[in-house]
Amino acid sequence: MNERNKRIKICGLTRAEDIEAVNLWKPDYAGFVFAPGKRQLTPYKARQLREVLLPGIPSVGVFVNSPIKDILALIKDGTIGMVQLHGDEDRDYATSLKEQMESPVPIIKAIRVRSEDDMWKAESFPSDYVLFDTYSKDVYGGSGKSFDWSSIPVIKKPWFLAGGIGAENILKAAATDAFCLDLSSSLESEGRKDPEKLKEIIQILRSE
């Protein structure tokens, strides 16, 4: 995939103003976090944001060890169109989630990378995509730190790249074989998404 055509996911959206910026600059995916933390959304708030998000931008629900029934409810009512498992969910969990979906939606399994072996094993996980993120002890994601991208092996399953991607290294990230680049904390100012930073990232990647 050409660097300039690399897909982009903006994660951790929490406000109507965030959605306005996303609708204007049109990244490929919008991430709603349901895991505990400063970006956590209630199902009600997420539904409100989904209603004003452009229909053509898939909403990705990010979960950490959530009850499967909670995920299924958000799929059923249309709040999310993809699932990102960012905790300790195992193969049985992912298989059970798939089997219980009334209408199948894609699943992304996040891998907190400690070794190349972690990434090789991810290829056989029962998900549609994997996401490689930086390992931080006791933190499931959103650390804002990157890992050695040159260590990522060539695998057949399409993968998202997360962890410490910002304006200063977005082109380096785009030069990897990632299917999609996942950004969150680097697009924030004082803990909130900054429309100007989102604009900058989109323009760097999609400029002629």
Phi and psi at residue 112, in whole multiples of 5°? -85, 105
Give the containing element (helix H, strand E) for 21: helix 16-25
CA–CA dist 135, 35 (Å, integer): 17
> Is 180 tagged catalytic?
no
Structural contact between residues 81 and 103, judged by C-beta atoms closer than 8 angstroms: no
Catalytic residue among 28, 88, 90, 133: 133
Of 11, 18, 180, 182, catalytic: 11
Query: How far, in Å, CA of 109 to CA of 129, rounded?
Result: 6
Supply the DSSP string of 99-168, one letter for each residue: HH-SS---EEEEEEESSHHHHHHHTTSSSSEEEEEE-BTTB-S-------GGG----SS-EEEESS--TT
- Return the number of other C-beta atoms located less than 10 Å from residue 184's C-beta: 22
For residue 45, what are its two tokens? 């708030």
Q: Which residues are catalytic?
A: 11, 133
